[in-house]
Chains A and B, each alone.
Chain A
Amino acid sequence: MFMALVYTSLLISSIGIFMLLSKKHILSILIGVELFLNGINLLFITICKSYSNDTANIFILFILVITACEVAIGLAIFLLNQRINRTIDINNLNRLRDE
Chain B
Amino acid sequence: MIETLVIIFCILAIGTALTTCLSSKIIRSTFFFGITLFIIAFIFMLVGSNLLGVIQILLYTGGTLILFLFSIFLTGDWDYNNLGETFHKPVTAVLIAFFFFLITSYLISTSETFINLETTFNLNRVASVQEISSSLFNDWIFVLELSSILLLATIVGCLTLLKFRKEVD
Which residues of chain A have a CB within 8 Å of any CB of chain B? 1-8, 10-19, 21-25, 27-28, 30-32, 34-35, 38, 41-42, 45-51, 53-55, 57-58, 60-62, 64-69, 71-73, 75-80, 82-84, 88-89, 99
Contacts and interface: CB of A to CB of B under 8 A. Distances in A.
Given A27-B30, A61-B55, A2 B118 contact: yes
Contacts of B21: 15, 18-19, 32, 35
Contacts of A84: 164, 168
B90 A22 contact: yes
Given A14-B97, A28-B29, A76 B158 contact: yes
Given A34-B64, A73-B158, 13 more contacts: A5-B10, A5-B47, A14-B97, A14-B100, A15-B14, A25-B80, A42-B40, A45-B52, A58-B132, A76-B157, A80-B161, A83-B164, A89-B83
**Taking chain A's interface residues, is the majority helix, strand, or loop, or is none over half, making it mixed?**
helix
Contacts, number: 220
B6 A1 contact: yes
Q: Which of A13, A27, A46 has the most CB of B within 10 A?
A: A27
Interface residues of B, number: 87
A61 B128 CA distance: 15
B123 to A, nearest CB: 6
Contacts of B100: 13-14, 17
Interface of B: 3, 6-7, 10, 13-14, 17-18, 20-21, 26, 29-30, 33, 36-37, 40, 43-44, 47-49, 51-52, 55-56, 59-60, 63-64, 67-68, 71-72, 74-75, 78, 80, 83-84, 86-90, 92-94, 96-98, 100-101, 104-105, 108-109, 114, 117-118, 120-123, 125, 127-128, 131-132, 135-136, 140, 143, 147, 150-151, 153-155, 157-158, 161-162, 164-165, 168-169
